[in-house]
Structure 1
Amino acid sequence: MSEQGTPVAAGVVAAVVGFSSSFVVVLAGLTAVGATPVQAASGLLALCVAQALGMLWLALRHRTPVSLAWSTPGAALLVTTGAVQGGWPAAVGAFLATGVLVVATGLLPRLGDLVAAIPVSLARAMLAGVLLPLCVEPVLALADSPATVAPVVLTWLVLQRRAARWAVPASLAVALVVVVVTAGDAVAAGDLLPTLAVTAPGWSWQALVGVTLPLYVVTMASQNVPGVAVMGSFGYRVPWRETMGVTGLGTLLVAPLGGHAVNLAAITAALNAGPAAGPDREQRWRASVSAAVTYLVLAVGAGALTALVAAAPDGVVQSAAGLALLGTLAASLSDALADPTDRLPAVGCLVVAASGVSILGVGAAFWALVVGLVLRRVSPSAPSPTSSAGRARSGTHRR
């Protein structure tokens, strides 16, 4: 392969890996908060297009391999949140409010400082608690339906040793094959076409507190801040304020179409910004352009993939999603428990988030942060409020 083609190939790989590794989580999250299959397919399509257009703008404007993605941790949060007061329209309103907060983060440094004041251990513990029930699904499904789930798990297990990057996409491909074999007749031809469905937003304080705030926090702490750090590790500076404006505006535009959040990529950013995109650092921005074009192509398949997921036997797609999130769970647990003096508050936060409890119509993620902050306050060895998330965020004011 020629040197000129290397960034193009890296971008295609980044998009395919990013999409295939987590689209089932997005569909599951949107469905959990009330979306119909058509509305979930619309959200997936809109997210693909929005992040593609955002990447094209930032990469071409700044000649920097900035990578955008949907919020996979945010989608996992929606799965555990479940139906909210006001139904799907209220969830759409919560997504819109999240977009407003992201835009405001780029315009108002003090808002970013408030997010940075949330201890990184609690943010990661909340995410770990959200992910834990999802990551248990492969175990439960394998016990209940070994014939259909075992091929998915075995594919993931074998490729962990031989080609770890492709373990999750391959297991998802096997899951879709299982769906086609077992439920192919249940998928109508009309369901395979890409569609957009507009939903007028509704408003409820339960959705704003239980969805908007946790979605904003987990997206900032688990996507945007790490995304800046990944780019920095390869010598690139993210145009912070403009990127928050682009991703926040993207979130505002996709929300009525069913999308939950657009943000900086973290894991796949390394593919576009690292050596895989070629030896010439000045040309790696082409990888982001290539990834954007690939996402536009993948968007066409959103309807077909949603129809297949909707027709899947119980446990098959859930198992693939759980396997896809194991790496994120491991990283979240490591960060949450890294500081010995902060472990009790982190564990308390994790337990509440994993419980799925809903109080006053507000989901567990919000109460997990509340419990973690209270435990941190009363703990005799409570650390100072400064967190590594805050230190990471403080550098973004210059970007």
Structure 2
Amino acid sequence: MAGRLQPVLAGVVTALVGFASSFTVVLAGLRAVGADPAQAASGLLALCVASGACAVWLGLRHRLPLAIAWSTPGAALLVATGPVPGGWPAAVGAFLLTGALIVAAGLIPALGRAVAAIPAPIAAAMLAGVLLPLCTAPVRALVEVPRLAGPVVLVWLLLHRFARRWAVPGALAVAVGAIALTTTGPARLDAAPVIALTAPTWTLPAIVGLALPLFLVTMAAQNVPGTAVLAGFGYRAPLGSALRVTGLATALGAPAGAHAVNLAAITAALAAGPDAHPDPDRRWIASVTAGIGLALLGLGAGVATALVLLSPPVLVEAVAGLALLAALAGAVSAAVAEPYAREAAVVTLVVTASGVSLLGIGGAFWGLVAGCLMLLLFHRRPTIPVAVPTPADPDDRPARTVRQMGPSGLQT
């Protein structure tokens, strides 16, 4: 009986950790690009349901532990980008286009190769530039609201040392407690699920400044590391199938506010590792359970949004920043790993993190352009591509190798 329950319990943990560790980033990102509270809650619900449905479908179809999540770096990109010309409807249009591009990457190998042509240090530096402003929020919170932020950071430090996977959920729990203790007057928490549909519109600045960077960040910072985590445990991910399914889910969820659905990277190891089940052929149960759990957690998106609205904005950003510190460390390390591209990567990081907007297009796009130009002007060495695997055959049939090993500290 214990053996049968083990993957189910692992799936529950995966869903809880995945939701609690980054839903604040999602809400902050959706609000930054123009969503009102109801639209942000709708977006969070749509992401949970879409991710859960994809995890269940892919897990049952391929019998592999294919954990699915929203794009946390993509949500950080929304925070860095801010309002786009055309407002929230234009952002929704960008989400829909992102989903279409992900589907196209699963159908057209040439598109995957085009993404792979972006030098790896430049892509990593763009991600680092997107994450950096949000990761400074804990410092700002300690200065602006020390009584609230101090216990949050302290709990995060202690749990990060002794129970790392629970560090961000623990910090979030302390933040919720602090909000409850400091809120004056009755607080209204809407428990009912909220679906707020928005008709998409398309503007050139939103397409270039939001949709394209969101697609690139989701591919480079989620789908590629997600396949790497699975490979570390001896699985070959059916990437083409995963891209088609998650891209379609993104496009369908976009009118409700879903920005991007993809392979999980950080929480993938919880479902694919030996803690999920000693038998690798039984670990798919954990990812399916995680999908069901995430969809159910989405029903509380209204409550989560209301709690966030009750707190000082910098405190919510602080929890989000703590959740992204590991991803920032990995991105910076990858950006400066190659000496030939180090200066170009730093230029990319600085321009992206500056938050500049030119012609209505945000800093992530201009950081990518600046880094590539810097590399082209000052270095003749061939660029090193991002390793974006493509399906080996039209049937996209997955295979699992005999070896079983775990990634050593792999984080995104």
- TM-score class normalised by the smaller sequence: over 0.9
**1:342 and 2:341 equivalent?**
yes
Three-state SS of the structure 1 residue aligned to 2:196 is coil
Quote the residue 1:5 is aligned against: 5
- 1:356 paired residue number: 355
- Residues 51 and 295 in structure 2, CA contact (< 8 A), matched pair in contact too: no
Question: Is the 8 Å Cα contact of residues 96 and 255 (structure 1) preserved in structure 2?
Answer: yes
Which residue of 1 is the match for residue 109 of structure 2?
109
After alignment, is 27-36 or 7-16 more displaced?
7-16
- Deviation track 1:184-228 (CA, whole Å, cap 9, x = no partner) reads 636324x33221100000110000000001000000000011111
Equivalent of 1:383, from 381, 386, 402?
Answer: 381
Asked if 1:324 corresponds to 2:323, the answer is yes
Matching residue's letter, 2:225 = P
**Counterpart for residue 19 of structure 2:** 19
8 Å CA contact 2:81, 2:363 repeated in 1? yes
Are residues 1:194 and 2:189 paired?
no
Partner AA of 1:383 in structure 2: R
Q: Which residue of 2 aligns with 1:57?
A: 57
Deviation at 1:62?
Answer: 1.1
Partners of 1:148 and 1:85 in 2: how far apart? 35
CA distance in 1, matches of 2:50, 2:392: 25
Q: Distance in 2 between matches of 1:301 and 1:184?
A: 23
- Are residue 123 (structure 1) and residue 123 (structure 2) matched? yes
**Superposition deviation, residue 233 in structure 1:** 1.2
Alignment of 1:1-399 (within 5 A): 2-183=2-183, 185=185, 187-189=187-189, 191-380=190-379, 382-387=380-385, 389=386, 392-394=387-389, 396-398=391-393, 399=396
Using the TM superposition, give the Cα deviation of residue 234 of structure 1 relative to its aligned residue in structure 2, in angstroms. Answer: 1.1
Residue 227 of structure 1 contacts residue 264 of structure 1 at CA under 8 Å; is this kept in 2? yes
Other structure's SS at 1:354 match: helix
Inter-partner Cα distance in structure 2 for 1:267 and 1:383: 33
- TM-superposed CA distance for 1:315, in Å, is 2.0
SS of 1:378's partner is: helix
Q: TM-score, normalised by structure 2?
A: 0.93
CA distance in 1, matches of 2:196, 2:389: 39
CA contact (8 A) 1:91 1:211 kept: yes
Residues paired across the two proteins, number:
394
Give the conservation status (yes or no) of the 8 Å contact 1:46–1:258: yes
Q: Who is 2:405 aligned against?
A: none
CA distance in 2, matches of 1:103, 1:338: 31
Could you tell me how far apart the structure 2 residues matched to 1:187 and 1:73 are? Answer: 31
Counterparts of 1:31 and 1:315 in 2: how far apart (Å)?
14
Deviation of 1:314 after TM superposition, in Å, equals 3.7
In 2, the alpha carbon distance for the partners of 1:395 and 1:383 equals: 25
Q: Deviations over 1:67-116 (max 9, x none)?
A: 11000000000001000000000000000000110000011111111000
Give me the whole-angstrom Cα distance separating, in 1, the residues matched to 2:392 and 2:23. 32
* CA distance in structure 1 between the aligned counterparts of 2:175 and 2:135, rounded to whole angstroms: 16
Of 217-226 and 170-179, the range deviating more from structure 2: 170-179
Runs of 5+ unmatched residues, structure 2? 397-412
Secondary structure at the counterpart of residue 3 of structure 1: helix
Distance 2:360 2:75 in 1: 19
Q: 4+ runs of 1 displaced by more than 6 Å?
A: none
Matches of 1:138 and 1:186, distance apart in 2: 28
CA contact (8 A) 1:65 1:273 kept: yes
1:69 is paired with a residue whose SS is: strand
Identity %, equivalent residues: 57
TM-score (norm 1): 0.96
Distance 2:96 2:79 in 1: 18
Asked whether the 8 Å contact 1:192–1:305 carries over to 2, the reply is no
Kindly provide the amino acid, as one letter, of the partner of residue 381 in structure 2.
P
Give the aligned residue type for 2:93. Answer: G
**Is the partner of 2:52 in helix, strand or coil?**
helix
Q: Give the distance between the partners of 1:122 and 1:314, measured in 2 at CA.
A: 31
* Residues in 2 aligned to 1:186 and 1:200: alpha-carbon distance in whole angstroms: 34
Give the helix-richer structure, 1 or 2: 1
Structure 1 SS opposite 2:376: helix
Rounded Cα–Cα distance in structure 2 between residues aligned with 1:297 and 1:357: 39
Which ranges of structure 1 fall in alignment gaps of 5 or more residues? none
